Each structure stands twice: as C-alpha cells, then as structure tokens.
Structure 1
C-alpha cells in the first residue's frame, strides 16, 4: 500500500479524466485544471467543484454537493480512491487524457473572457 503524494497526483490528475469502478458501475471524474473538477456518478448525477492538492491526497468541494478529502492508494496493478475514514470507495479502471465524457460543461465558473 502506497498513498500517492502531491507530485505524483499532479501528474495523473490535472487535465485527465479518471474512470472509477464503483461496485460494477463507472463514475467519471475530470480534473480540468489545478482547481476545477467535474464528476459524473453512475446514477447520472453531475457535480462541478473546486479541488486542491494536499501533501498526500486532495480535497474537493462540489457546488451544491458534498465536500470530501481523498487519498489515492497504489498497490501493484491498481490505484484505489480512499475516503477520509480510510474506506476504499472505488478503483481506477483507466485514466483518459482530456475530457472525453464532456463533463466540463460550457459555462461553469468561467468568466465571460474564458467563454469567448
């Protein structure tokens, strides 16, 4: 068991989408920038929020949703999402570059200049 540190997390998170197995169904988490993230849960619920890297994980605050602290735990052949209580909540199935699921939306938290 190895909890991934901030430097490693930055490489595998910023600008990518994690496809996460949550009990046989997939969730999609797009880490758009160093502070913006987007989530699509298996039931179709979408969240947009702000996230920050920590020394050994990250924190996320979903707009109109929950706030949480997460760690990514690496074992040979797997990376698991671990919640603040130490419970594994999902396993990464793959990491895609960019936003192939179009989670970002068009106008979330963007200034007029960014939207143009």
Structure 2
C-alpha cells in the first residue's frame, strides 16, 4: 500500500534515519531532518546533503549538486519499500533509527 497520508509520512520520515537495502548487497542510509534537511550516506561511501518535503503523492528530495526525485513509501506487513515517482521499487528499509545516525 502506497502511503498517501501526510501525517503517516511525517511520522515515518521526519527526524529519522532510514537504512536501505538496494539489492545485490548494496546499502544506503538517508536522514530526514525535522527542519527539512536531508543527508545520505551513498552506497559508494560518499555523502550528499539536500532538502526534502512531503508532497500530495509522497515526498520529494532535492540533492545539492545532484538529482532531484519524487519518492513513495510502500508498506506491507513486515516490509517497507521505497518506490520512485513512477512507482518502481528501488529498495527496502532494513531499519529506522531516531535522529541523525549518519552525522559526520
């Protein structure tokens, strides 16, 4: 089920760090700041910063010097998935940690 309820998206994202399994042993971590800041520890070990905001269809992230993208959260019993703006699954959540667990 794609989450369209903004209050649920806010509860899942704001102030939390999501660890993601992107498949083939590739992992990433994304922090969604309470102030709308975003930070990512990319699969290659690089870091990105940017801004995120809830939208009517999910949420949007603008990375500084990098891509901008729409995202959706897909929830099923025992599983949380990340889908791009076209609805294609890009990864699954392995854990959610309160706060910025990837702060440098």
Deviates more, 1:62-71 or 1:20-29: 20-29
Question: Secondary structure at the residue paired with 2:7?
Answer: helix
Q: Which residue in 1 is equivalent to 2:67?
A: 66
TM-align CA RMSD = 1.2
What SS does the aligned partner of 1:89 have?
A: strand
CA deviation digits over 1:6-41, x for unaligned, max 9?
110100111100001011222000011241110111
TM-score (norm 2): 0.91
Higher mean C-alpha displacement, 47-56 vs 70-79: 47-56
Q: Structure 1 residue 83 and structure 2 residue 72: aligned? A: no
2:6 corresponding residue in structure 1: 6
Q: Which runs of 5+ in 1 are unaligned?
A: 106-116
Structure 2: which 5+ residue stretches go unaligned? Answer: none
SS in 2 for 1:48: strand
Q: CA offsets, 1:42-78, max 9 Å, x none?
A: 1112111111101331011100000000000011111
Computing the radius of gyration from Cα coordinates, the structure with the larger value is: 1
